[in-house]
Chains A and B, each alone.
Chain A
Amino acid sequence: MNRQDFITRLRAGLRGLPPPAIAEAVADYEAHFAEARAAGRGEDEVAAALGDPDRLARELRAEAGLKRWEAERNPSAAASAVFAVLGLGAIDILILLPILLWIGGTLLALFIAAVAGFGVGAVMMVAGPFAVHAAPVAALILAGLGLMAGAASLGAVAAIGAIGFTNALVWYGRLHLRLLRPALEPAAFAPGEITA
């Protein structure tokens, strides 16, 4: 493999990242080849010493994904972090998938329950006094309010769960992947302290 092959494969592996990030990464390796040539080393030898460009691209891509999740906590960043980690092949998908589906399904159910509870509470509060003549109006309004508050807190719990879940996944990825926090810093392995 010569310089051209290496750079082509690196570029292919980085496809989808922001163009400036790709340009910077490619520039690093181009400079490496240039320095090595000045030192009298052959391109094939240098490419071999650099290592597998696909693997390097996956490391760069995973790091970019994890950084994005740390910078912006939103669903799209979470998805890109999860896929970056999966892309590195660090997590055995067959082991992880059932767990992912189970936790994801539970969180989804919690969200749906929260939305439904909120809706029922709202209806009970607004329409209840007109529909149910037997019950006292104040009790219906209070019950509706209570149901809505309960649903809101359930939604909040589910949101915290979803954030914690993504953090845990990122943490797991960092633990097993190679780019990551040094083994010498046990504190940095605590889940939820990814920003340390």
Chain B
Amino acid sequence: MSFSDSKGAVGVVEAVQVQLKKGVLELCVLALLSRADAYGYEIASRLAGGVEMGEGTIYPLMRRMQADRLVDTYLVESASGPSRKYYRMTPTGAARFEAQKSEWTAFSSAVNAILGGAQ
């Protein structure tokens, strides 16, 4: 665990990175669902590669987002196998998405401006 061996900065930096990825992951899930409803495997395989997190992390995240009422679920019969659990964005989720998206845009453009200036 990054914090149990915390001799200081390294643990903190790692925790912040993980935290950032978590935050970004939620934003990415909301972005994905803002375009179309999706089922778990779809979300996991589309996001995990991009954000470098285990695919399994998606499920605790989806459960938390469901508990926070950002998404809800419904079942769809699948021709090829068992029925799929689809996730759908709620109005609360849509509001959260808009708020996070504009925060992210402002934050990342500020960071990009600084990075660009340093080159």
- Mostly, the A contact residues are helix
With a CB–CB cut-off of 8 A, which chain B residues contact A178?
A: 18-19, 22
In the complex, whether B26 has a CB less than 8 A from a CB of chain A is yes
For the complex, would chain B's binding face be called helix, strand, loop or mixed by DSSP majority?
A: helix
Interface string of B1-30 (1 = CB under 8 A from A): 101101000000001101110111011000
Task: Report whether A92 and B60 are in contact in the complex, using a CB–CB cutoff of 8 Å.
Answer: no
- A25 to B22, Cβ gap below 8 A? no
Q: Which residues of chain B are near A32, meaning CB under 8 Å?
A: 40-41, 44, 55-56, 59
- Tell me the bound Cα distance from A32 to B60 in angstroms: 13
Chain A nearest Cβ from B78, distance in angstroms = 9
B16 engages A34 (CB within 8 Å)? no
| Contacting residues, chain A, for B85 (C-beta < 8 A) | 28, 31
Residues of chain A in range 104-139 having any CB-CB distance to chain B below 8 Å: none
**Among the listed A51, A92, A182, which residue makes an inter-chain contact with B4, where contact means beta carbons less than 8 Å apart?**
A92
Contact of A34 among B26, B57, B62, B82 (CB under 8 A): B82
CA of A60 to CA of B63, assembled, Å: 8
Chain B residues with CB below 8 A from A90, complex form: 1, 3
1/0 per position for A18-53, CB-CB distance to B under 8 A? 000000110011011011101000000010011111
Q: Are B60 and A50 touching (Cβ within 8 A)?
A: no
Is residue B114 within 8 Å, beta carbon to beta carbon, of the partner chain? no
Whole-angstrom distance between the alpha carbons of A63 and B62 in the complex? 11
Known contacts A25-B63, A49-B55, A184-B104, A36 near B26 by CB under 8 Å: no
Q: How far is the CA of A94 from the CA of B6 in the complex (A)?
A: 12
Minimum CB–CB distance for A138 against chain B, Å = 57
B residues within 8 A CB of A25? 59, 63
Chain B residues close to A by CB (< 8 Å): 1, 3-4, 6, 15-16, 18-20, 22-24, 26-27, 39-41, 44, 48, 53-57, 59-64, 67, 80-82, 84-85, 100, 103-104, 107
Residues of A that sit less than 8 Å from B by CB: 24-25, 28-29, 31-32, 34-36, 38, 46, 49-53, 56, 59-60, 63, 67, 88-92, 175-176, 178-185
